[in-house]
Amino acid sequence: MTVELGPGIDRYLASVRLAPAVVDIDGSLFFQVEERLQIHAAMLPDERVELFAGAGYVRAELLQAIVEADEDDDFDEDEPRHVQDVLARWTGEGAHWAVDVHRQTGLLTLSMVVSALPGDPSEWAIVIDAFMRTADSWTARLEREAAGPWAHSGVGLTEISSGAFLRC
């Protein structure tokens, strides 16, 4: 499915004079749009397109509050990680959005799902612009790096590769 996604993204990237997308080890594409924002893109089995990026890290106090809230709620550890970690979902700008926070590292991931593959660079520009504006609003409130070792065990920062923990 990446084969269908790549040419459209690369045409958009060329139109704004950015380097072409690269295929990640998990099969998604990734490309740099700003110094601080690397976007990953993947085709979903139902032909929708997902864009996702690590926006930054939540503060240690907020992560602790999230973990404690999980303990108080009916948090199901048997659910897949991407379901466990979802913090918020909403719709807007013709897309479904989600924010998830990885409970061991505090990495916040922004995810945008559009219903169809954009057809040309101008459609990609609208999608990427919406993603970048939303990402900017989140990154402004987050930390650039994890606060440090978390009180609970689990995946460490060194075990996170590219999009492995980014996808919602």
Kindly report, residue by residue over 11-22, the tens digit of the pLDDT.
999 999 999 999
Question: For residue 160, what pLDDT band results from cuts at 50, 70 and 90?
Answer: very low
Residue 147 has pLDDT above 50, yes or no: yes
Q: What domains sit in the chain, N to C, each tagged with a CATH number?
A: 2-159 (3.30.1460.10)
Question: For residue 143, what pLDDT band results from cuts at 50, 70 and 90?
Answer: confident
pTM of the entire predicted model: 0.77
* Residues forming a β-bridge with 42: 50
Is 110 in a helix, a strand, or coil? strand
φ, ψ (nearest 5 deg) of residue 22: -120, 145
**Is residue 78 exposed (0-12), middle (13-18) or buried (19+ Cβ within 10 Å)?**
exposed
Which of 71, 54, 70 is CA-nearest to residue 164?
54
How far, in Å, CA of 111 to CA of 127, rounded?
12
What's residue 20's pLDDT?
A: 95
Residue 161 has pLDDT above 60, yes or no: no
Residue 112 has pLDDT above 90, yes or no: yes
Kindly report, residue by residue over 21-72, the tens digit of the pLDDT.
999 888 889 999 988 789 999 999 898 999 999 988 888 888 888 777 766 5
For residue 59, what are the contacts with CB-CB under 8 A and spacing of at least 6? Answer: 106, 143, 147
How far, in Å, CA of 166 to CA of 164, rounded?
6
φ, ψ (nearest 5 deg) of residue 19: -65, 150
